[in-house]
Amino acid sequence: MYRALEEMKIEGVSTTIDFYKIVLEHPVFQSGRYYVGWLEKILAERKEKQLSVSVS
Please list, in sequence order, all residues whose beta carbon lies within 8 angstroms of the beta carbon of residue 37, skipping any fewer than 6 positions away: none
Look up the domain containing 35 and give its range.
2-55
| Domain count within the chain | 1
Q: What is the pLDDT of residue 52?
A: 76
On the 0-12 / 13-18 / 19+ scale of CB atoms within 10 A, 21 is middle
- Long-range Cβ contact pairs of 41-48 (< 8 A, separation 24 or more): 46/22
Averaged pLDDT of the chain: 88
**Pick from 22, 16, 21: nearest CA to 42:** 22
Supply the DSSP symbol for 16: S
Output the pTM of the full model: 0.69
Mean pLDDT of 16-43: 92
